[in-house]
Amino acid sequence: MAAGSAIQIPSRLPLLLTHEGVLLPGSTMRTSVDSPRNMQLVRSRLLKGTSLRSTIIGVIPNTSDPTSDCDELPSLHRIGTAALAVQVVGSNWPKPHYTLLVTGLCRFQILQLLKEKPYPVAEVEQLDRLEQFTNQLKSEEELGELSEQFYKYAVQLVEMLDMSVPAVAKLRRLLDNLPREALPDILTSIIRTSNQEKLQILDAVRLEERFKMTIPLLVRQIEGLKLLQKTRKPKQDDDKRVVAIRPNRRINHIPSTTEDEEEEEDHDDVVMLEKKIRTSSMSEQALKVCLKEIKRLKKMPQSMPEYALTRNYLELMVELPWNKSTKDRLEIRAARILLDNDHYAMEKLKKRVLEYLAVRQLKNNLKGPILCFVGPPGVGKTSVGRSIAKTLGREFHRIALGGVCDQSDIRGHRRTYVGSMPGRIINGLKTVGVNNPVFLLDEVDKLGKSLQGDPAAALLEVLDPEQNHSFTDHYLNVAFDLSQVLFIATANTTATIPPALLDRMEIIQVPGYTQEEKIEIAHRHLIPKQLEQHGLTPQQIQIPQVTTLDIITRYTREAGVRSLDRKLGAICRAVAVKVAEGQHKETKPDRAEVGEGEDCKEHVTEDAKPESISDTADLALPPEMPILIDFHALKDILGPPMYEMEVSERLSQPGVAIGLAWTPLGGEIMFVEASRMDGEGQLTLTGQLGDVMKESAHLAISWLRSNAKRYQLTNASGSFDLLDNTDIHLHFPAGAVTKDGPSAGVTIVTCLASLFSGRLVCSDVAMTGEITLRGLVLPVGGIKDKVLAAHRAGLKRIIIPQRNEKDLEEIAVNVRQDLTFVMASCLDEVLNAAFDGGFAVKPRVERLNSKL
């Protein structure tokens, strides 16, 4: 086997050039073959050959750059190892290649290269012969000493290893049975050495030289082992179970490679990590787990994938804020001022938040409900959450839950999975670095469900004050106390929040803003913020209130202020370009940009100084700054208005009425259109309607048919049977939005009454209310949002169910002043209010005007 005594290698050897390490006599190596040259060798020599001699090849370490493996044969290392190809395995994935198992026989040196293609073949001379060594050994006393010394170190090293590992026991036996001369090669390939070191051993043709070079390597390993055992716990029994042996560079005579350095650093890191674990303030249970893991880590070879996993886990455990918290500084008066400064309007929300904070101040460990702000997008839910954190002096972290449909997102993956990681809660804690932050669970209504479990169920444990002191993330696998975390949730609607989750939270509705509120918000908060973000000053841009109103009414239609904010951002960007251009124009300043442009003249002055706004103002021209954004400028920057007051236009025919709808994005006005045609009394409904809405339509028709005579409603042929030879088509435009709910009942009745009577519905009336078959009007929800939507759309009169009168109190006085409310308890009243001059032939009840 090793430096074979009886082995006589052929004098001509095919050469295998390998980048994958250095093969030494007596050792075995697995090498992958994919270069064309080596593939040829395997195919035509190893796979076709039949004799034992044909399986002997010369393995030469290829010291050239592996990436430059081109057609040219690189310069060959002169000494190689003759090897027996023990096994050849071929595969096609990811590209055709063979894996060779080769056992080193003896050294050889290349005398002459005989051919290069298709694979190199060389005339060689065998270098190692056992008989020679034996003879030498007898004659040279010194070599005998060296070999004795080497043997001693080898035995010492092997005895430091764990004999219960079969490979170690076998090595111990080999030490006694193998000829001493074979040992340097074999031990060099077993102990931890770099390729560079192995190459030096390969080149050491003289046995004496080889012994001399290997002894320091052995000593280095022994020292490394001793050091390792010292750093480990003084538990005697375990100490010997060291599999990975690390080099000690102090006695390293052969230059060490960067690989070695990295390993040493890694080792230091593990020691540091252990220190950190011991000094960290983690819970007792966590400490126990971590110490167990670090014990495992030390025994693990670094190449094992689990090494990195365990290390990441331990690093996370150390980083988590087990006992670190910020000190609450809570002063209700200051909190009120801060909330007022940051947010305009939203009085109800601010009041509730202050109550919550006040109770916290009085009772420290508040196990109160979780606050959940529900309202349309852009009404400031998130930003109030941020303000709460600011008032408390706590860290703030937002966890977006929209679209999350895997419970491991909340609770982490078990560490057995590849790519496992902690859930968002634990991740958030790691990010903020304290255990009492404010966590904003954004969009809880948009949690999904999938095969991977229900994330809402995982949230239950997080949000339950009774349970969350021992929240167990699957990744951590130990409990973490979340009771100090202040959770706030936001949602657009409560309809899609799972009931169990809803039960844990206190819902605070955040309605949309009125136009006036939006103007105030824009001028107090949004515009200053945008100016700052764009590097502009009020001296450079001026946005008057009428312009803001124009943006609100003509360019946005929303309950919140997010689009408004974006539009203001667009204006600032456009102005920033002008300002920057103005600053850089050299001799030819541009035309003054005021939008209207009528009185703008061309600058002709050649000597106008650049980079100075005030200088250009000296010219007898309209001042360049501030740039005034008026409607013309608005049109230029934002394009033509997106929303016009189209209401009156659309109500120019009979059979159209305006309803009010509630959506998670706030209130909206909704047109209902009807037409009739010859047919067989069928009703067609279009516009993405739900079942409840369809029922309302049938109810409306039934009521009108039964009251046709009273109201003198006839079909096209003059019959009171409205469906006689007539088909009706009802359409609810904006077909992409699914509409459902009973509140369109009154609108459908009004629309059909208009169709069958041929009279126009007043163009400034909007209505909402559920109907019954007997013509009563029942209350509906979302009145505030609906009224605001009608106000936004410029409508003047609003018909609402009588029993919703109390909801009007929530609406701002200025909005109420702009509108007339009609409280209707039956359909007669609705129709009377919807048509100019009333509707009933014999009106029984006069229209009711709001007392507001």
> What are the binding residues for ATP?
375-382
Residues in 433-452 that interact with ligand ADP by CB under 6 A: none
Span near ligand ADP by CB under 6 A; candidates 32-40, 124-132, 188-196, 339-347? 339-347
Q: How far is the CB of 403 from ligand ADP (least distance, A)?
A: 16
Residue with tokens 């229900």: 454
Q: How far is the CB of 344 from ligand ADP (least distance, A)?
A: 4
Among 128, 185, 445, 565, binds ligand ADP (CB under 6 A): 565
Euclidean distance between CA atoms 5 and 85, whole angstroms: 19
Is residue 288 part of the annotated active site? The answer reads no
Q: Which is nearer to ligand ADP, 564 or 827 (CB)?
A: 564
788 makes contact with ligand ADP (CB under 6 A): no
Euclidean distance between CA atoms 776 and 54, whole angstroms: 103
Span near ligand ADP by CB under 6 A; candidates 79-87, 424-432, 537-545, 561-569? 561-569
Q: Which is nearer to ligand ADP, 471 or 555 (CB)?
A: 555
**Planar angle of CA 291, 278, 315, nearest 5 degrees:** 70
Q: Which is nearer to ligand ADP, 562 or 847 (CB)?
A: 562
Q: Which of 387, 696, 743, 825 is catalytic?
A: 743
Among 59, 204, 561, 795, binds ligand ADP (CB under 6 A): 561
Residues in 372-411 that interact with ligand ADP by CB under 6 A: 377-383
- 431 CB-near residues (< 8 Å, 6+ apart): 397
Q: How far is the CB of 370 from ligand ADP (least distance, A)?
A: 16
- What tokens were used for 74? 């690189």
Q: How far is the CB of 529 from ligand ADP (least distance, A)?
A: 7
Span near ligand ADP by CB under 6 A; candidates 25-33, 146-154, 554-562, 582-590? 554-562
- What tokens were used for 585? 């124009």
Q: How far is the CB of 284 from ligand ADP (least distance, A)?
A: 40
Q: How far is the CB of 346 from ligand ADP (least distance, A)?
A: 5
- 77 CB-near residues (< 8 Å, 6+ apart): 60, 61, 62, 63, 199
Q: Which is nearer to ligand ADP, 210 or 446 (CB)?
A: 446
Closest CA to 667 of 503, 512, 835, 466: 512
Span near ligand ADP by CB under 6 A; candidates 127-135, 340-348, 644-652, 825-833? 340-348
345 makes contact with ligand ADP (CB under 6 A): yes
Q: Which is nearer to ligand ADP, 111 or 400 (CB)?
A: 400
Sign (positive or negative) of CA dihedral 205, 211, 217, 218: positive
Euclidean distance between CA atoms 592 and 613, whole angstroms: 11
- What tokens were used for 425? 């809660």
Q: How far is the CB of 402 from ligand ADP (least distance, A)?
A: 11
Q: Which is nearer to ligand ADP, 383 or 477 (CB)?
A: 383
Euclidean distance between CA atoms 778 and 823, whole angstroms: 11
Give, rounded to a whole angstrom, the gap between the first and last alpha carbons of the chain: 107
346 makes contact with ligand ADP (CB under 6 A): yes
Q: Helix, strand, or coil here: 122?
A: strand
Residues in 503-522 that interact with ligand ADP by CB under 6 A: 521
Residues placed in the known binding site: 375-382
Contact string 697-726 vs ligand ADP (x = CB under 6 A): ------------------------------
Q: At what angle do helices 381-392 and 332-342 cross, to 10 degrees?
A: 150
- 440 CB-near residues (< 8 Å, 6+ apart): 382, 385, 386, 396, 397, 398, 399, 488, 489, 490
Q: Which is nearer to ligand ADP, 566 or 694 (CB)?
A: 566
Euclidean distance between CA atoms 281 and 271, whole angstroms: 18
Q: Which is nearer to ligand ADP, 154 or 345 (CB)?
A: 345
Q: Which is nearer to ligand ADP, 80 or 378 (CB)?
A: 378
- 134 CB-near residues (< 8 Å, 6+ apart): 179, 181
DSSP calls for 267-327? HHHHHHHHHHHHHS---HHHHHHHHHHHHHHHHS-TTSHHHHHHHHHHHHHHHS-SS--PP
DSSP calls for 760-803? PPPTTEEE--EE-TTSBEE--S-HHHHHHHHHHTT--EEEEEGG
Q: Which is nearer to ligand ADP, 321 or 560 (CB)?
A: 560
Angular region, 385: left φ>0, alpha ψ -120 to 50, beta rest: alpha
666 makes contact with ligand ADP (CB under 6 A): no
Q: How far is the CB of 553 from ligand ADP (least distance, A)?
A: 18
Is residue 786 part of the annotated active site? The answer reads yes
Contact 672, 656 (CB under 8 A): yes
DSSP calls for 233-265? -S-TGGGG---S----GGG--SPPPHHHHHHHH
Q: How far is the CB of 382 from ligand ADP (least distance, A)?
A: 3
Among 150, 153, 313, 344, binds ligand ADP (CB under 6 A): 344
Q: Which is nearer to ligand ADP, 440 or 625 (CB)?
A: 440
Contact 476, 426 (CB under 8 A): yes
Contact 336, 392 (CB under 8 A): no
- What tokens were used for 619? 């010219």
Q: How far is the CB of 348 from ligand ADP (least distance, A)?
A: 12
Residue with tokens 């126009």: 760
- Per-state percent for the chain, helix, strand, coil, to nearest 5: 45, 15, 40
Span near ligand ADP by CB under 6 A; candidates 12-20, 344-352, 387-395, 453-461? 344-352
Whole-number CA gyration radius for the chain: 43
Q: How far is the CB of 378 from ligand ADP (least distance, A)?
A: 5
Amino acid identity at 837: G
525 makes contact with ligand ADP (CB under 6 A): yes
Q: Which is nearer to ligand ADP, 383 or 470 (CB)?
A: 383
Contact string 299-338 vs ligand ADP (x = CB under 6 A): ----------------------------------------
DSSP calls for 441-503? EETGGG---BTTB-HHHHHHHHH-TTTGGGEE-TTT-SEE--TT-EEEEEES-STTS-HHHHH
Span near ligand ADP by CB under 6 A; candidates 60-68, 125-133, 559-567, 832-840? 559-567
Among 192, 249, 562, 803, binds ligand ADP (CB under 6 A): 562
Contact string 460-499 vs ligand ADP (x = CB under 6 A): ------------------------------x---------
Q: How far is the CB of 377 from ligand ADP (least distance, A)?
A: 4
The residue number with the shortest CB distance to ligand ADP is: 380
Q: What are phi and psi of 448, to 5 degrees?
A: -100, 180
Q: Which of 147, 198, 786, 825 is catalytic?
A: 786
Number of residues that bind ligand ADP (CB under 6 A): 18
Contact 446, 496 (CB under 8 A): yes
Residues in the site for ligand ADP, rule: CB under 6 A? 343-346, 377-383, 490, 521, 525, 560-562, 565
Catalytic residues: 743, 786
